[in-house]
A and B are shown apart, each in its own frame.
Chain A
């Protein structure tokens, strides 16, 4: 099973600032098989990024993904109030599909 470790656990950022979230895999993951999700309290997750770097439909361009192999990054260039949430990475490289434990982005 591929373990995804996200860091930091919590990120305190001011609106308008940049947020950088990390996802590290225990085994190499093909970029095609790496996705990112956003989850707000009381809501279902929402797909943000697929293929490590492609934005899903309707996702603003302040969200970007990058990385390869075992190290992936989600960057939010200028945080808007609605971006404060928990973010999860997920892999499809090897079954069982696994999620990271999440990074909470909170208002500083």
Chain B
């Protein structure tokens, strides 16, 4: 059973870079899945940030594309998110998720527990 676990600093200074990792256990990050990052500001809804395929192909939300980078580390079986030039508006719970897309099945079917990141000096 695949499990995901986010890790990283819970506090980032304004104008700094947010760096998070998502460790994949119980399965391989090289399997035919997309791996996504989703965030949720306090008291608000879900926002898709971007995704990476096992081949390394990436897609990003246009609103974050200029600041977000998602990468894979196959040796550690994990993927990562970097978000640069952060402001208070980037304060949120950040989730990683397995995004399964096979014939007739499209959905984020495995999620990490989420990590709270606060942007503050």
Contact = CB atoms under 8 A, between A and B. Distances in A.
Interface of A: 1, 32-33, 35, 37, 39, 43-47, 50-51, 54, 56-57, 88, 90, 92, 95-102
A51 B105 contact: yes
Interface of B, secondary structure class, is: strand
Contacts of A100: 45
Contacts of B109: 47, 50, 56-57
Interface residues of B, number: 23
B48 interface: yes
Contact of B111 (A45, A50, A51, A99): A45
Interface in B14-63: 38, 45-48, 59-63
A99 B108 contact: no
A101 B106 CA distance: 20
Contacts of A37: 46, 108
Contacts of A32: 104, 106
B61 A51 contact: no
